Amino acid sequence: MTDKTSISEALLNRRMLICIFTGFSSGLPLYILISLVPAWLRTEGVDLKAIGLFALIQLPFTWKFLWSPLFDRFIPPLGRRRGWLIIAQIALLLVIPAYGYLHPKLDLWAIAYLSVIVAFFSASQDIVLDAYRRELLLDNELGLGNAIHVNAYKIAGLVPGALSLVLADHLPWSSVYLITALFMLPGILMTLLVNEPELKGAPKTLKAAVIEPFEEFRSRGLKPALLILAFIFFYKLGDSMATALATPFYLDMGFSKTEIGLIAKNAGLWPSVIGGLLGGVWMIRLGINRALWIFGAVQMVAILGFAWLAMVGHSPVWLAVVIGVEALGVGLGTSAFVAFIARATHPLYTATQFALFTSLAAVPRTFANAATGYMVEWVGWKFFFLVCFFIAIPGMLLLFKVAPWHGED
């Protein structure tokens, strides 16, 4: 698939359209947790240390591989993928509005518990969406399909990270969270309309669903398996930490919630769209290995933009530039990264292995990000972002082993 016709066909087929919906549905609840909730807490006077520790509520994303075998083993009425999807999506639609009836100063623990529930159903939805997408896409579509998924994932962030913040200046938080929750409806509609993937084989017992995926991965060899796990842990560590407190960072730089909503978030929309589509097309030509090298380098440079903004301070123009570069770089890096993870899974154990790999990728976002508030208080914003840049280097060095430039894709 290298000529213009084949690329056009790849972009326009029904599977790619479905990837838009899987990405949007997957991204919305996570961005509520990492963008809207921190902004809400900060505007209500909660300190940065407490907001940073709120990253720990995302533990379900780290441990989701523990219950992922259930989704491979048991089949609800609508099917193994669609059945579990509709359960998770309806739960999110019903739970998210509850934020609006709590007060950050008075109900901080209740907000934390509610966030864990949202994270659990969001992680469960991700398990099934990742497995569904892996089973839906052809092998030569993994790069493009996952790029579109990641692109839609980031666009979903504009709802809690932009629209909801603008609405918060004009509406009570109860209305803001209700409107935000309603954006789960496109994902629910997709689940009802798509076809169930062909069942290529399912574990016959729960024990088999738990053991066989790990046995298959271990059978590849101890050293290769450990290198893959290390790469998954480190590749996104730097940019994950850099963006953990993005919204509080913008607020501390003197930007209003409306500025953040209209300038910061929307400045990332078109670079994200263009970067995601270009990344997918480039991966068709480059292959996943070379894309990981090139996109990872751009991803690292994007981190330095935050350090520059910390020096410049309140500048709407530089805010738009920095966010645009970040959206492009991180979008490219993430699309190649997710394609790598999809390629590393075995078709018979999609849900469990995909969950294992993405759980490991969520470890930095959960534990390292929990310390970001303390780091900022200690070294300041500029040096914090410089530290994030250097933390990204080990992941790039591991590419020599797990995805060599001249290796086979």
Task: State pLDDT tens for residues 211-238.
Answer: 888 888 888 888 888 999 899 888 888 8
Task: Specify the pLDDT at position 120.
Answer: 95
pLDDT tens per residue across span 66-82: 898 888 888 898 888 99
Query: With 80 as the cut, is the pLDDT of residue 399 above it?
Result: yes
The confidence band for 2, taking pLDDT boundaries of 50, 70 and 90, is very low
CB atoms within 10 A of CB 200: 9
Query: With 50 as the cut, is the pLDDT of residue 5 above it?
Result: no
How does DSSP classify residue 256?
-
Query: Range with the lowest mean pLDDT among 13-17, 196-200, 295-299, 365-369?
Result: 365-369
Find the mean pLDDT for residues 266-291: 77
Query: With 60 as the cut, is the pLDDT of residue 165 above it?
Result: yes
Average pLDDT, the chain: 84
Q: Which residues are CB-neighbours of 129 under 8 A, at least 6 positions away?
A: 22, 25, 26, 85
pLDDT tens per residue across span 310-321: 998 888 888 888
102, with CB counted inside 10 A (0-12, 13-18, 19+), is middle
CB atoms within 10 A of CB 90: 14
How does DSSP classify residue 196?
P
How many whole angstroms separate alpha carbon 230 and alpha carbon 245? 24
Query: Range with the lowest mean pLDDT among 192-206, 231-245, 257-271, 394-408?
Result: 257-271
Find the mean pLDDT for residues 2-16: 61
The proportion of the chain whose per-residue pLDDT surpasses 90, expressed as a percent, equals 29
Query: With 90 as the cut, is the pLDDT of residue 151 above it?
Result: no
